[in-house]
Structure 1
């Protein structure tokens, strides 16, 4: 990377962080404001190239890994059917429909390149939709489907993209060979992801150092992505598998690892997402200059047609799949409601991966065709972000889709779990004190009583929300005794929360909240 490009990216990063900070302050969706800001300043600032390798090998792996790490494996398993239908079926359906429409609009464009464009713009980026949905209380099942789709759809789209480009350079499409490539990419990605997940889990068991573990965490997504891509497997799937596996076992790490990890990945997400969405808007001049040889109304018509087909194809697929799921489940309990289907259909905003794939088109393509493909990708990405992104909050409010009942159930489950954890903690305290020789002295009795009172206070707080040193002679000081006993109680309480999560009586989000509370308390114990 040249010094000039490095300086440009530094300026973009600083400006993007500033715009994102403003968006957070005023409560607007940061991705949309960043794209608009990029579009506004693009004509008056030097062109900032969007390097495909930078996006696919530097930005994409940590963003995918962070999303997988923070996702719920158990919830994703519950919605595996709709996620598979969207991340595989919808991507292939969109690729085919958009490819055929583009071929009809531009008969001079090779059919393989038309399908390549379909694969480029097929995968949505759920960052903006999930951010809005969480803020407005979108039901957890809908959010999980959107997150699951965004985790896996890039793998399908990039594989279809490679097959289409292979057909363009080779001149023919072998359906059997293409299917084999897709299966190898998927199975290879899963195998490499699991192998690395087991290896890193084994390593973490022997590290027990929060600083070292979180440093390794930063390297994991790049290692998984490069390992899979080096054998032509899916790097996307490998990263997601590692993230889901380690995220589901995060409770086995120390409290310091969890506390630091949460902060590290929040900063990483904020920084990288700010840059990539700003880069989208900054490509305006580059894209417009490439189509200078076409008529303005002609290319505008092409752009509108491709954007409309992209949006409509998602609605057609979502409602067709919803109807099929309703029939197969003999009722609508397992299938999304009509309101949720509309939400899923409208949450099809495209992102930077589509632009990166368009910029990565091989040099053998005619400049005129390349410029048109890049323009249609850019207008589709911008169109979905600005049209669907800006209207998404109003649509959620208009349909009255809410997670209020889920939030009440979460608080109820948390209160019940706190009660069970309290009993486990007190039982552990009784066991520990019963193992001491002789009767406890007055100071020890006071410490034990404080521990009991603190446990009861935390349990009562949950219900309200619903409506190491030594003293003289080698004896433990009161503070050391308190810390030792309380740490053992905290561990017993954690085991209860994890068990209830595994028994599906507590959601992963609630588990993370209560684990964070326990981790902060243990951190305070270490500081005392």
Structure 2
């Protein structure tokens, strides 16, 4: 497919996403529906991308952005639950689907059925996280879903590699599946860590926000390709790189942080819109491939619906069986058990929501399209068309069934954490206390030691002004959630200040257009106005949440 058509698809996907957001519709579902319908429109070319392009270009920035913003503390705190869902759950799903599909579908050998199991095993949490964020899922549940999405692709793609090799007869570098899995993990983590440290070192030396941002943009692609080059997990390399740089965000210059805060959300929006549109556009080509192989379409799609049912049911079965098992072990060890929550502090309602947040995504379709056409011996890969058809039905089916019902389930079960607001307030109070102490300590030291190039009298005068400013800012932060009058006044101030900035900008641009103001001077002045307006907008947005 040529570049112009691909760009048109991207533009159309963004436009449809904007339409869906405007009418408060679920963006992934609308994009898949529109894409599926468009695939049958005469004259619309088939959009077929290589799996290497999807996995190497689309996936890395999405994973990196998620890891960059994800709290490593939350990841470590919920590591047990994340690994059980992101790795063990993937293996359980792949095996369950593999054996069921082998029993159900005559065209699939056991090896090919396990390939199918690996293809449909990893959930894509993009849609679930979007719904959860909108409906206010507790932060711990959001952390588990996000953490799961960061590791499950690596587990599934490793299983996929092993399963494909067993069918095709292709020799992999390490014969032992366990050692191969361990190498994938270790290699990916090491590559991501080393590259992130290199980028951090280079960033600390160049001191140029544009170049620093470019380095951040290039890193996920570099990490993925470098890890894949040594046959390690590119997914884990990207995630590790995101974690490492996310932990040292405070070391980055302010202009770089401001730029990256704008760049990555835009990248996420663009790629996610394209991903779901791409999923829908595959419908016609999937049907055509089944027909080319001489298979009855209605039989294959009936098989696919049964596999879809298994995929949906395995997740809640695993979560609740595993939770019950751990609770029994805990009681046998005579530890204090809660009547309403599991050992990780999740209620049965929260576990039910997690079990229903298993929508599949683009990794499933990319892996399905990556199934080779033939074995090493030259024989056709058994059931390749069936695998692609089932993968499409599972990806779209989970997105439609679970995506449509997940919001209702969240509302009906009321999974809110009553203590979360208290913990958030405590963290905010701690942050204010730390900020206040650090400010007072520095100002006290500055009062004693002075500032180079300034007289003591001028330093003392300015220090008092700075001290009042710091206290006012911290006091405003402390009271804005509790005193409605002050909050309203602050919002009014920011609104008026923003409007003044807009008026100033318009007048400056008008003066430039009239030839009264130089472009370079205009840009310099606008830079300052932009920073002020961004701060005012951020405060207004925070108050409106």
Aligned counterparts, 1:449-468, within 5 A: 449-467=464-482
Q: 2:196–2:219: 8 Å Cα contact kept in structure 1?
A: no
Q: Label 1:463 to 1:300 Cα distance change in 2 as closer, same or farther (>3 A).
A: same
- 1:352 paired with 2:367, answer no
* 1:153-196, Cα deviation, whole Å (9 max, x unpaired): 11111111111111111299999622221111111111212222
2:193 is equivalent to residue 194 of structure 1: yes
**Which residue number corresponds to residue 144 of structure 1?**
143
The one of 374, 377, 389 equivalent to 1:364 is 374
Distance 1:361 1:350, change over 3 A: same
Structure 1 position 438, deviation (Å): 6.0
User: What's the TM-score, normalizing by structure 1?
Assistant: 0.84
Q: Distance in 2 between matches of 1:270 and 1:190?
A: 27
Aligned mates of 1:31, 1:447 — CA distance in 2: 54
**Secondary structure in structure 1 of the residue aligned to 2:457:** coil
Kindly tell me: are residues 328 and 194 of structure 1, through their superposed partners in 2, closer, same or farther at Cα, counting changes over 3 Å?
farther
CA–CA distance in 1 between the matches of 2:103 and 2:344? 39
State the distance in 2 between where 1:33 and 1:462 align.
39
Cα contact 1:322–1:336 (8 A) shared by 2: no
Residue of structure 2 equivalent to 1:407: 421
The worse-fitting range, judged by mean Cα deviation, of 392-401 and 19-28 is 19-28
Q: CA-to-partner distance for each residue in 1:377-431, whole Å, 9 max, x for gaps?
A: 0000000000001111111111101256423431342134213312321331232
Q: CA RMSD in A?
A: 2.5
Matches within 5 A, 1:224-243: 224-243=223-242
- 1:138-287 paired onto structure 2 within 5 Å: 138-170=137-169, 177-287=176-286
Supply the distance in 2 between the matched residues of 1:223 and 1:180 (Cα, whole angstroms): 25
- Partner in structure 2 of residue 481 of structure 1: none
Contact 1:411–1:466 at 8 Å: present in 2 too? no
Per-residue deviation at 1:363? Answer: 1.3
User: Equivalent residue for 2:344?
Assistant: 334
Matched, 1:299 2:296: no
Cα separation, 2, equivalents of 1:301 and 1:452: 71
Q: Structure 2 CA distance, aligned partners of 1:420 and 1:335?
A: 29
Is 1:61 matched up with 2:78?
no
CA contact (8 A) 1:408 1:466 kept: no
Q: Residue 377 of structure 1 aligns with which residue? A: 391
Question: Are residues 172 and 268 of structure 1, via their aligned partners in 2, closer, same or farther at CA, if it must alter by over 3 Å?
Answer: closer
Contact kept? 1:325, 1:334, Cα under 8 Å:
no
Structure 2 distance, partners of 1:27, 1:300, is 31
Secondary structure at the counterpart of residue 124 of structure 1? coil
C-alpha separation in 2, matches of 1:438 and 1:87: 61
The alignment partner of 2:106 has SS state of coil
Per-residue CA distance 1:323-371 (angstroms, 9 max, x = gap): 2343455433524220111111100000011101111111116478221
In the alignment, is the contact (CA less than 8 A) between 1:39 and 1:284 conserved in 2?
yes
User: Aligned equivalents of 2:200 and 2:171: distance in 1?
Assistant: 44
Deviates more, 1:378-387 or 1:356-365: 356-365
- Which residue pairs with 2:515 in the alignment? none
- Provide the rounded CA distance (Å) in 2 between the counterparts of 1:165 and 1:144: 32
1:385-424 paired onto structure 2 within 5 Å: 385-403=399-417, 405-424=419-438
| 1:124-151 deviation per Cα after TM superposition (whole angstroms, max 9, x unaligned) | 0000000110111111111111111111
Aligned pair in 2 of structure 1 residues 296, 404: CA closer, same or farther (>3 Å)? same
Say yes or no: does 1:11 pair with 2:21.
no
- Pairing 1:60-79 to 2, within 5 Å after superposition: 60-79=59-78
Residue aligning to 1:31: 28
Q: Normalising to structure 2: TM-score of the pair?
A: 0.81
> Are the aligned partners of 2:108 and 2:382 in contact in 1 as well (CA < 8 Å)?
no
- Give me the whole-angstrom Cα distance separating, in 1, the residues matched to 2:113 and 2:45: 31
CA contact (8 A) 2:191 2:237 kept: yes
Per the alignment, in what secondary structure is the counterpart of residue 43 of structure 1? Answer: coil
* Structure 2, unaligned runs of 5 or more: 483-530, 539-545
Hey, what's the Cα distance between the residues in 2 that align with 1:398 and 1:345? 15
